[in-house]
Amino acid sequence: MKKASLLLMVLGVLIFVSCARKETPMTILTEDYPPLSYLENGVVTGYGADVVAAIQAELQTKAVPELMNWDAAYKRALTEPNVVLFTMEKTPEREDKFFFIGPLGDNISSFYTLKDSELAVPDLKTAQGVKAIATTTDWFTEQYLKEQGFTNLVSKPDPKDAVKMLMSKEADLSVFTDVNLPRLLKEAGVEATALKPVLELMKTQYYVAISKQTPVETVEKWKQAYAKLEQAGTIQTLKEKWFPVSESMPE
């Protein structure tokens, strides 16, 4: 009887240790932001998706990324533990709210208007005076403009709606990045030359973000896996896959 009890105790300890060693299950979220992340044949793909998949391969985890509107994904990453959100710009407003892994690359954000528009926007003060600026809900560009006191923003959860508002002249301006705009115009059925930049807003870097409530040990494992991939040249290889040298590749 004593031997049986001892055996059960040993088995219990082994099961506890085995469970403790398992990786924390992560929820992985992203948005439709090609070529960094988008849905193709029912599978989330893109440069950011490839980086996250490579990190998971290092960690031997297989969480499947879920694609949703940015505002919904952002709110979950703000409030829930063990959430990975890619890709995210690292801005002063966000810096203390998430853990960041990267950077994966750079973005240049600019105000855009219709190519035949005569609207001149030499500075932010002029932009504050237009009737309407189409923005995407909780995108870093919208957050930045709110911080600057803009009250003429028309926020939509889908960035394609910002394109449509410009084309229909419901908005005078919108804000896009050089990385995302070409594919965004294509998805909206708009010619690549339909819009023109009128004022550069900011240069930022995008990362893989992890919710602040996530255990530090888990975050460190993700950071170490990324560092290993970067040292091996894997991150650069993935970047060149999605941004060939012959194209305009973000630095």
For position 24, what pLDDT does the model report? 73
Q: Give the total number of structural domains in the chain.
A: 2
Question: Could you tell me the CATH number of the domain that includes residue 231?
Answer: 3.40.190.10
DSSP secondary structure string, 141-156?
HHHHHHHTT---EEEE
Strand-strand pairing, 153-156 and 133-136: parallel
Q: Are residues 185 and 211 in the same domain?
A: no
Q: At 17, is the pLDDT very low, low, confident or very high (cuts 50, 70, 90)?
A: very low
Strand-strand pairing, 66-67 and 27-30: parallel
Q: Per residue in 177-208, is it b (16+ CB within 10 Å) or e — as a string?
A: bbbbbebbbeebebeeeebebbbebeebbbbb
Q: Are residues 122 and 181 in the same domain?
A: yes
Count of residues in the chain: 251
For position 197, what pLDDT does the model report? 97
3 state SS of 168: coil
For position 244, what pLDDT does the model report? 87
* pLDDT tens track for 73-94: 999 999 999 999 999 999 999 9
Residue 8 has pLDDT above 80, yes or no: no
Share of the chain above pLDDT 90, in %: 86
Q: Are residues 155 and 101 in the same domain?
A: no
For position 16, what pLDDT does the model report? 46
Q: At 133, is the pLDDT very low, low, confident or very high (cuts 50, 70, 90)?
A: very high
User: Quick count: other Cβ atoms within 10 Å of Cβ 73?
Assistant: 22
Q: Are residues 95 and 118 in the same domain?
A: no
Q: Are residues 93 and 116 in the same domain?
A: no
What is the identity of the amino acid at 221?
K
Query: Does residue 118 sit within a domain?
Result: yes
> What are 96's two structure tokens?
């203390």
Q: Per residue in 103-130, is it b (16+ CB within 10 Å) or e — as a string?
A: bbbbbbbbbbbeeebeeebeeeeebeeb
What is the identity of the amino acid at 112?
Y
Query: Which domain does 69 fall in, by range?
Result: 25-106+205-242
Q: At 248, is the pLDDT very low, low, confident or very high (cuts 50, 70, 90)?
A: very low
Q: Are residues 194 and 111 in the same domain?
A: yes
Q: Are residues 141 and 228 in the same domain?
A: no
Contact 83, 219 (CB under 8 A): no
Query: Does residue 250 sit within a domain?
Result: no
Q: At 19, is the pLDDT very low, low, confident or very high (cuts 50, 70, 90)?
A: very low
Q: Which of 123-137, 175-189, 237-251 has the lowest mean pLDDT?
A: 237-251
Q: Are residues 56 and 174 in the same domain?
A: no
> What are 50's two structure tokens?
């490839």
